[in-house]
Structures are given as structure tokens and as C-alpha cells.
Amino acid sequence: MNFIDAITLEVADTEAAERFYTTAFGLGSELRFRVSQEPSTGFRGYTLSLTVSQPANADALIDAAVAAGATVIKPAAKSTWGYGGTVQAPDGAIWKIATSAKKNTAPASREIDAIVLLLGVADVAASKKFYVEHGLTVGKSFGRVYVEFEAGSSPVKLALYKRKALAKDAGVSPEGTGSHRIAICAAAPFTDPDGFAWETSALAAQS
């Protein structure tokens, strides 16, 4: 298992979710939807990030998301690492739109450079070891704080962050109970140490 084929979000209304993500972010095959089966409250333990090339693109995507029904959690602003903000989709998923650039160098667009799934974990080192044993290759690692895996040809990149730090970065409380309401579509099914489910993707099932 060395790729993520897609992300499945559990939502109340699959058609509404598909409309939102197509309208707001222009996403298609990277996301799949199914009706939510388990209750959850508060922070679901993950965020999804859209990385872009410049601040104007981040603003364009955030504006499009709000126009489509998202709620702003952290308004876009400059920081030491770049520029960005977070929004919550109507289905409850938290999205961060960000860039490492601090200045615009081209006309604004809604072009996305990468999609990153950040899992909030209890022990970054233990989860890193778990995922390496399941076939992922580490791309960046900052001790017990943050790990990013190589994406290869995957449409979605995986990263690990401490749960409390991830919630703080998103601008929400770290408390939450119940289902993560997300599944990761890949080559083989398993559940990681923090309860995130990986399921066999359609692409893997055909191979």
C-alpha cells in the first residue's frame, strides 16, 4: 500500500456534498461520499488542506467556498509560514487553504497544487512507524511533531500531526467524540492506531 486513491467523506446528503465540493474547489474524483453511519461531535481528528501557489489563489478558493455555503473558522491572514485560512464545509469537514508564498506573482486563479490529508494522532512517532510498516515512504519528518509521506502518483498526500496541535492550527477545540466520518481509499483495508479506517479502493480492487 503506497498510494491514496481517494477520500470518502461521510455526509448527511451526498448530492449536496458533491455540489459543494465541485462548486467551491473544483474537486471531483479525489472525493467520494456516502451517507454517515455513526454519530460524532466536535473535532473529527483530521483536516484537509489545499495548497496553492500564492495568496490570491487562497483568497479565491476561500471566497468560492463561502459562497457555496462554507463557514469561515480562521480568516485568511499572513503568518510566519505564509498565508492562509480555514473553513468548515456544510458537511462538517474542516479545510485549510494555504500557501507558503507571501506575495502574489500572477493573476488570481483557483488552481490547486496539492491536497493533503492531515490526521491528528496521539503519538506521531508510533503512527509514523505504523504507516511505514504499511508501505508508505516518509518525505518529511520533524521528530514527534509532524510527519509527511511521499505522495508519488497519489491525488492525496498524507501527513501526521499531534491532535491538539492540528485542532489549534485549524482554529477549533480538540475535543470530539464518535466517528471520524472519513475513510481513506487505498490498496488494502486496515484501521490505524487512532481509529482512521483505510478501505480497498475501486482502483485497487480492479488490479
What are the pLDDT digits (tens) for 10-22? 999 999 999 999 9
Q: What is the pLDDT of residue 2?
A: 63
pTM beyond 0.85: the answer is: yes
Q: Is the pLDDT of residue 171 over 90?
A: yes
Q: What is the pLDDT of residue 187?
A: 83
Q: What is the pLDDT of residue 38?
A: 80
Q: Is the pLDDT of residue 153 over 70?
A: yes
Cα 141 off chain centre by: 18
Rounded CA-CA distance 161/122 in Å is: 9
Q: How confident is the model at residue 165 (pLDDT cuts 50, 70, 90)?
A: very high
Mean pLDDT of the chain: 93
Q: Is the pLDDT of residue 1 over 70?
A: no
The predicted-structure confidence for 52-76, as pLDDT tens digits, reads as follows 999 999 999 999 999 999 999 999 9
Q: What is the pLDDT of residue 103?
A: 95
Q: What is the pLDDT of residue 202?
A: 66
Q: Is the pLDDT of residue 37 over 60?
A: yes
Rounded CA-CA distance 161/144 in Å is: 8
Rounded CA-CA distance 84/82 in Å is: 7
Q: How confident is the model at residue 3 (pLDDT cuts 50, 70, 90)?
A: confident
Contact 201, 6 (CB under 8 A): yes
Render 59-106 in DSSP notation, one character per residue: HHHHHHHHHHT-EEEEEEEE-SS-EEEEEE-TTS-EEEEEES--S--S
Rounded CA-CA distance 31/6 in Å is: 6
Rounded CA-CA distance 26/59 in Å is: 15
Contact 17, 10 (CB under 8 A): no
Q: Is the pLDDT of residue 111 over 60?
A: yes
Q: Is the pLDDT of residue 39 over 60?
A: yes
**Residue 140 corresponds to which cell in the numbers above?**
518529511
Cα 193 off chain centre by: 18
Q: What is the pLDDT of residue 155?
A: 92
